[in-house]
Amino acid sequence: MKNLKKRLQNGETLHGCWLNLGSSLTAEIVGLSGFDWVLIDLEHGAGTEKDVLAQLQALESTPAGVIVRVESAESQRIHRVLDMGAEGIMCPKVSNPAEARKVVSGLHYPPHGHRGVAKMVRATQFAQNFDSYYQNARENLLGVVQIETAEVLNHLDEVAALDGVDVLFIGPADLSMELGIFGQFDHPRFKEAVRETINAAQKAKKAVGILFFNPEEYHNYHQLGIRFIACGADATFVANGARDMARKLGDFRHKILDTGS
């Protein structure tokens, strides 16, 4: 465990990014690059649960803690990635307290939830470390619910207050789409939703997270109180690097053609 939950509770700002290529190699490269955490994306990413295992193994020796975004709050989806060794889960489009409770229930063992007990899994070092894992699971496993629907804005205080919900994570694209202002992150309604989310989290002493792709937005969101910050993805890093190199080589070719040498 990389102590993500404890570090957030201590008020640290943690930096992360998305892994959506389903590749253990890009996962390892990104994990070694200096991020505090990475998110393996099963909702929109190219990989499957089978690919999660390889990525978790690749990330084990890196400094980055690993969160997995599951497709839904179904217990089986949550159990499987936790048993593989994920340090926490993110669930998309949580719209009300009942859905948030379902996430928490899948995250924790009884009596705090309904996570199934399996000893012979990677998370417990195949039963060698089950007792310690079991005793410390509530303190170590991070529960992240995404604030992406118009409905959840009416239940922010209730969702934030739930024990086991550790981070309210704003999904700008989906939230702005739901509000009818897609991509308009400077729109008063979007800004209001961000403030409402932060206020609810702060009252409950929980963290707030957000994903953005322009690092110039960092100061604004950090100043508002957001401490679980994601910027970029492995696919973005590869695409940007490839385009940048192709452009540079193209520039050299044009210069040679123009000068004839």
Q: Residue 261's pLDDT is what?
A: 64
Q: How much is the average pLDDT of 10-16?
A: 97
The burial of 131, by beta-carbon neighbours within 10 Å (0-12 exposed, 13-18 middle, 19 or more buried), is given as exposed
* Band (50; pLDDT cuts 50, 70, 90): very high
In this structure, which amino acid lies at residue 1?
M
Q: Residue 64's pLDDT is what?
A: 98
CA gap 133, 65 in Å, rounded? 16
* Band (259; pLDDT cuts 50, 70, 90): confident
Q: What percent of the chain has pLDDT over 90?
A: 95
CA gap 246, 127 in Å, rounded? 50
CA gap 169, 68 in Å, rounded? 13
All structural domains of the chain, each given as residue ranges with its CATH number in brackets, are 4-259 (3.20.20.60)
Integer CA distances (angstroms), 123 to 27, 62, 83, in order: 19, 16, 5
Q: Which residue has the higher pLDDT, 181 or 257?
A: 181
Where in 102-159 does DSSP place strands (E)?
A: 142-147
- pLDDT of residue 260 exceeding 80: no
Neighbours of 186 (CB within 10 A): 8
Closest CA to 45 of 75, 13, 90: 90
Catalytic residue among 44, 112, 187, 254: 44
Q: What pLDDT, in 10s, does the model give residues 75-85?
A: 889 999 999 99
The burial of 15, by beta-carbon neighbours within 10 Å (0-12 exposed, 13-18 middle, 19 or more buried), is given as middle
Q: Is 114 a catalytic residue?
A: no
Q: What pLDDT, in 10s, does the model give residues 202-220?
A: 999 999 999 998 999 999 9
In this structure, which amino acid lies at residue 84?
M
Q: What pLDDT, in 10s, does the model give residues 120-161?
A: 999 999 999 999 999 999 999 999 999 999 999 999 999 999
* Band (241; pLDDT cuts 50, 70, 90): very high
Q: What percent of the chain has pLDDT over 70?
A: 100
CA angle (64, 91, 222) in 5-degree steps: 55
Three-class SS state of 69: strand
DSSP code of 163?
T
**Contact indicator for 240, 200 with CB cutoff of 8 Å:** no
**Contact indicator for 7, 14 with CB cutoff of 8 Å:** yes
Q: Which residue matches tokens 């990330």?
A: 59
